[in-house]
Amino acid sequence: MRAPALIAILLTAQACAPEPPPPPPARLQLDCSLSYEALSAKVLAQPGLRPAPQTPGEPYRFYTTPGGSEAFVFTEPGAPGHPAILKQEGSRKDGAAFMTNTGCPYGDKAGYAKLLAYLEGLQTR
């Protein structure tokens, strides 16, 4: 087989190869120097972010990323530490799944500490 024919075959085969999947979007890091409103808008603008079903009586709103490895928690009026935004990242440690909570407290710091304790307690239930 001649080189030009071989090149044509290789180029045709390459053109038919499936496109590699796009890389996953970079994980959003919470920037607590932004105002609550600005950070809320930035978090909610992420593609594919889905609201979780709201639990009656809980003053929190949860949103999950595609794949579920991250969640964002927004406090609502009446929640300890409101207003606050938290990020939960799932990981594994010693074979067990757990969530790491980080966040931006814009309201009462003692209430925010209660909120963190509440979220940590959800893991042990």
Flag whether 84 is in a domain. Answer: yes
Tens-digit pLDDT profile for the chain (125 aa)? Answer: 566 666 666 666 555 557 776 655 677 899 999 999 999 999 999 999 999 998 888 899 999 998 888 999 999 999 999 999 999 998 767 767 777 899 999 999 999 999 999 888 877 65
Structural domain total, the chain: 1
Flag whether 20 is in a domain. Answer: no
Residue 85 belongs to domain spanning = 29-123
Using alpha carbons, select from 89, 78, 90 the residue that is nearest to residue 115.
78
Flag whether 72 is in a domain. Answer: yes
Flag whether 14 is in a domain. Answer: no
| Backbone dihedral angles phi then psi of residue 82, each to the nearest 5 degrees | -60, 135
